[in-house]
Structure 1
């Protein structure tokens, strides 16, 4: 049995922008619906959505038959949790609030087996190995794993060049909402001072040869970041899309109704 190729990691080497959808419902059923809609990638959110390791597993299994590539965001930088997520078959991890090269290096080690890392061997217990069905998994797993680090604080921006330079970091993802509040502009990622820092991170990533991504549910934001060189952009959030559609539907039957726009604050 062959190890499944990481379509998302391969796509980051291409020039075209990869458009993604944020999955926050925490269920395989909802994730599968999203996977049928044609987005290039789907972010299974383990940080702010009500997810556990079993619910992430259910979503990975649900989207496996489709072309949409799953990306799993961890709740933190715990190497034990990273081990579990890799063992259940996550091949691309996004890790929040990375603020130094040392943190990035520790994450790389958490994703690799000794002697290059500290990942424990799950062997026949692990879905990632297809329960020992993938030959030479231990030697070759790192080739199909992808690490995305999130830069979303003032300190992270200050250290962005060193973070992006870490071998084993495949991509950098900007978190506009956390960055804006960290810089003193809560709820205003469009503030010029915040935009300056975002542009800096994008430039640093490009200079290091690393793909840069961002969350931009507003169309004008997404197009702006694409023009700046972001290679993978989440252009929608499933929960927000449902809420917007529900409000718009009710508005057809009431003369006055609440208008719902995509949030810039997530």
Structure 2
């Protein structure tokens, strides 16, 4: 029996747009709640979310039972982290702050078994092989791992063509917030100069035959990115949605009480 098919990797290879959402609450229970919302993929964030490997693993498990594909962003591209989260069952990884072809080559090796890479052979101990119940896991795992590299600096953009040309890199994800900061537009990911740089990057990624990804909290900007050819895109985060919903609920209640003669304490 081979390794499970990676539905996200299959979709981007077939140029089927994949809609996603960021998951950063660092809670398997919250991840499970969100996973039934109909998104194609959920990004479990280990870079800015307060996560470690066991907690990331638990969230992968929670999302795997749903129709959403669990993607993991590690805090950095350390080979030991990649090895552990792949063994825990993650199949799609997003690695932040990639700025050189040398770095990208090392990441390709980190997600592959020898002789094509350096991934340690220990999946029999983990969920990835169903605890050694998948007999052909070692022979088929490489094909089902999806490696996405995050380009979010001017240095990354300069190296983009060489990075995108690498076999084993399945997609490039543009980080608009960090890119904007590096370009001198801190807090302005929608600045015209940043959008122009993203437009150029998307065109170069498409020319290399790779998938292009991005995320935004602005639906207007999301439609722009989609029109530019984004292959996969996240349009929100669990954290910001929770903040918005709880504040709106309170505001709506207070507004509805404004005409009441009876004061409500605490306002």
TM range (shorter): over 0.9
SS in 2 for 1:252: helix
Aligned to 1:51: 51
Residues 118-170 of structure 1 deviation map (CA, whole Å, 9 limit, x = unaligned): 11111421211111111221121111000000000010011111111111000
Q: Which moved more, 1:211-220 or 1:11-20?
A: 11-20
C-alpha RMSD over aligned residues: 1.2
Question: Structure 1 residue 255: deviation in Å?
Answer: 4.4
Q: Which segments of 5 or more consecutive residues in structure 1 lack a partner in the other structure?
A: 257-266
Compute the TM-score of the two structures, normalised by the length of structure 1: 0.93
Give the unaligned 5+ runs of structure 2: 257-267
Shift of residue 205, structure 1, vs aligned partner: 0.7
- Do residues 220 (structure 1) and 220 (structure 2) align? yes
Q: Tell me whether 1:160 sits opposite 2:160 in the alignment.
A: yes
Residue 240 of structure 1 is matched in structure 2 by: 240
Q: Superposition pairs for residues 49-198 of structure 1, below 5 Å?
A: 49-198=49-198
1-structure distance, mates of 2:121, 2:245: 45
Q: Contact (CA 8 Å) 2:2, 2:136: kept in 1 or not? A: no
Query: Cα deviations across residues 45-64 of structure 1 (Å, max 9, x unaligned)?
Result: 01000111111111111111
8 Å contact 1:17–1:226 — kept in the other structure? no
Q: Which runs of 4+ in 1 moved over 4 A?
A: none
Contact 1:202 / 1:229 at 8 angstroms: preserved in 2?
yes
User: 1: distance between equivalents of 2:191 and 2:124?
Assistant: 51
